[in-house]
Amino acid sequence: MKNRAKCKKCNDIIESFHPTDYVTCSCGAIALDGGDAMYCFALAWDDFVRVDDKGNEIITKIVDDKMPSDTTLSDVIQPTNKREQILADIEQLIKIIEGLPTHALDSPITHRDYLSLLGLISSVIRLSS
């Protein structure tokens, strides 16, 4: 199963594709991270529903829900703030891309790809200032 979820508030279905792919729904109520690591976050778990590979909604059982009610997602998600970690993430992405077959390297990229790249560049610039 992929790291995919649906927000009951805004009905967005979001998916995290790789280890450094952090995504939120449009209303900010739920978030996913880590690709296959299956990290997930929610302001209220009642708004969070897993979605399987066939599009079926899966109600999840929350094992540890100890956040105070005034917590926001930005309080829970600690953005990568170490230059070494960001550089390691970039190097990992470069190795993954270099390992793609020739036909994949020659194919066009998506706006999601550009968004990931811009997020990495933005993080590096913020750290250097």
* Number of domains into which the chain is organized: 2
The tokens for 45 are: 């778990």
In this structure, are 71 and 105 located in the same domain? no
The candidate with the shortest Cα–Cα distance to 28, out of 15, 38, 41, is 41
In this structure, are 20 and 70 located in the same domain? yes
Residues paired with 61 in a beta bridge: none
In this structure, are 12 and 45 located in the same domain? yes
pLDDT in tens, 56-84: 888 777 665 555 555 554 444 444 446 66
Per-residue pLDDT of the chain (129 residues; tens, 9 = 90+): 788 999 999 999 999 888 888 888 988 888 888 888 778 888 888 889 998 888 888 877 766 555 555 555 444 444 444 666 777 777 777 777 778 788 877 888 887 787 888 887 887 777 765
Give me the amino acid identity at 77: I
pTM of the model: 0.50
In this structure, are 19 and 72 located in the same domain? yes
Phi-psi region of 89 (alpha: psi -120 to 50; beta: other; left: phi over 0): alpha
For residue 54, give Cα distances in angstroms to 3, 30, 42, 71, 111. 13, 21, 23, 33, 24
